A = this chain, B = another copy of it.
């Protein structure tokens, strides 16, 4: 495929920046930092999609977005009449759909699906989409990517996992997230206990701080709750805490030290997501692992956070970050530095299924992954997994593509979206 683009972001830029960051270009960086960037840039040059599985072009003929009662389906049709389907992130798509139909879908029509790595890179600059870098453009891109991966998986007779990597995990360990902000420490603990009892999970995550600068209510809630949770569940329980960017540096360090004393397993988003330097400042002062990346839309910012050793655990959201291929690049960058990936997953539609395929392909998956429950409104059959949590784990389905078959009569109820 001809391209009018230099291989700017994954090759030239990688190389050039590697070079550009040498002391001669102004900002001297340490040998250690340079070695890290070399590893990251090597990873960014590696392909993700296994093109070699496909011997002939798979030209995309149509990309359609359909809706029925708040459920958005993306349907991709190839010139040869093959079909791929994804269910979108419905809680976002109901206000992003014109971005998908006007700014994303048209780009893919007429392209060879085997070039997906390159297409995902190019849709970023198509119609200057980079100007809205955030999930506003990336959720639409991910939605189309998932449908294309389903199409490719059906053609290759392989699950998505094996299109973007190898099967490293046949089961995925899950933790159930919760949100009891605003409730007293005692009431919060009761809620967490009840949930852990119901799901028999071996890991839990709870919210601390107030989201992005909201007040931590009732006052002092977080610092009381942190030791209470450890005490209630004992030393064996894996415990994560999520501040949703609610602290400044000083407070994040103070609260993070409390987490350390209570042997917490990670501290997510201690400061707002766009406080890059401050995220590193917090990490430098704490031994509890710092996790982040849910809101990040920029590959370059992930590269900075890793190159500067500003994060211990990367958490791209496969929808918010624009799909499996981009998220895999982040996971592989982290892997190159010996760090795990624990993807964030936004909870609607079939998000948990996409999460499972992605985690299955990770060589550096964390032990437990975010899980916000099953979606029971979409009727489908899965022949290769009962999709139940057993002993804290779910079997990853292994059928072709997304590895499920959505009831045709349900799909047929969906109508093409209309826009102004």
- Interface residue ranges, A against B (CB under 8 Å): 4-6, 8-9, 12-13, 16-17, 19-21, 25-27, 67, 94-99, 102-103, 124-125, 128, 130-137, 210-215, 217, 245, 248-251, 253, 272-278, 280-281, 284-285, 295, 297-298, 300-301, 304, 320, 417-420
Q: Are A285 and B132 interface neighbours, CB within 8 A? A: no
CB of A127 to closest CB in B, whole Å: 10
The majority secondary structure among interface residues of chain A is helix
The 8 Å CB contact of A134, one of B17, B133, B245, is: B133
Contact of A135 among B12, B131, B251, B418 (CB under 8 A): B131
Which of B17, B124, B133, B214 lies in contact with A249, CB distance below 8 A?
Answer: B17
Q: Is A420 within 8 A of B128, CB to CB?
A: no
Nearest CB of chain B from residue A300's CB, rounded to whole Å: 5
Q: Can you list 24 A-B contacts with CB-CB less than 8 angstroms, sorted by A residue number?
A: A6-B214, A6-B215, A12-B213, A13-B213, A13-B248, A21-B249, A25-B250, A26-B281, A26-B284, A27-B277, A94-B102, A95-B98, A95-B102, A99-B136, A128-B211, A130-B212, A130-B272, A130-B295, A131-B295, A134-B297, A136-B136, A276-B276, A276-B304, A417-B420
Contact of A136 among B134, B273, B275, B276 (CB under 8 A): B134
A133's nearest neighbour on chain B, judged by CB, is: B134
The CA-CA distance from A12 to B247 in the complex, in Å, is 10
Q: Tell which of B21, B248, B304 touches A17, judged by Cβ atoms closer than 8 Å.
A: B248
Contacting pair A5 B135 (CB below 8 A): no
Across the two chains, which residue of chain B brings its CB closest to A13? B248
Residues of B within 8 A of A277 (CB): 27, 304
Contact B16 A250 (CB under 8 A): yes
Report B-chain residues with C-beta under 8 Å of the C-beta of A97: 98, 420
Contact B295 A5 (CB under 8 A): no
Query: Are A6 and B136 CB-contacts (below 8 A) given A20-B248, A26-B281, A301-B274?
Result: no
Q: Are B284 and A27 in contact (CB under 8 A)?
A: yes
Chain B residues lying within 8 Å of A284, measured Cβ to Cβ, are: 26-27
In the bound complex, CA of A128 to CA of B344 (Å): 16
User: Most B CB atoms within 10 A — which of A6, A19, A213, A250?
Assistant: A213
A215 and B248 contacting across the interface, CB-CB below 8 Å: no
Known: A95-B98, A250-B16, A250-B25. A211 touches B134 (CB 8 A): no
Contact A281 B20 (CB under 8 A): yes
Besides the known contacts A12-B248, A131-B295, 13 further A-B residue pairs in the complex with CB atoms under 8 A apart: A6-B214, A6-B215, A13-B213, A16-B249, A21-B249, A25-B253, A26-B285, A94-B98, A125-B212, A125-B213, A130-B212, A133-B134, A134-B134
Q: Which of A9, A94, A217, A419 has the most CB of B within 10 A?
A: A419
**Judging by beta carbons under 8 Å apart, are A20 and B250 in contact?**
yes
